[in-house]
Structure 1
């Protein structure tokens, strides 16, 4: 994650601050500002950074299998997040980019990014729970 531009890290931190405070409009607003400034590639970088944050210091492996019970019955945004995080875990940027593009084409990228931010926050909070 350290090879990301400083602006991407700052944007990801702003998304997380908004998500931590329950400010969904702030999350969406930050992503909108990133798209205005850097296009969809900038938003993708922030999303990739959130996936990295969610996984934390997990060992770098390929072929990681993440367990998402009931994922087939979940909504589009939840399935997207599971697949996007799995792509990150498997160092599969091509799949991550394809998922991002599909969410754009389906008109559901804002929902997916909001769910990703919420999932990242939930994961961070669960790490703080003894």
Structure 2
């Protein structure tokens, strides 16, 4: 990720610290503070940063194929995370924004962001182990 405001990086770090501690309320609280300060665009920036953390370096040649076995049977938030991370991996900000807007409209954005934070932590832990 390039040209990410320091505040966005700080917010993403706070989300990850809370998720690592297993404190879902603090994860949601951090996103709430971001929305209060920077609106939904700010929360989107933090979510995009978390997706970047999950994916890591993406080849400059474009596209990435991600495999999510059983995704069609998963809950809304899990399907949302898979699609959002795929959008990031494929540098498809339009799809990422559409998914974010759909989660807002469906009233499920907090659940999706909490699952995204948990998935990011699980990915980091699997890389470390």
Q: Shorter-chain TM-score: what band?
A: over 0.9
TM-score (norm: length of structure 1): 0.97
Structure 1 unpaired stretches of 5+: none
Within-5 A mapping of 1:1-130: 1-129=1-129
Distance 2:69 2:8 in 1: 31
Work out the number of aligned pairs and report it: 129
Deviation, 1:64, is 1.6
Distance 2:126 2:40 in 1: 30
Deviation, 1:9, is 0.2
Deviation, 1:61, is 4.0
Q: Which runs of 4+ in 1 moved over 2 A?
A: 57-63
Deviation, 1:57, is 2.4
Structure 2 unpaired stretches of 5+: none
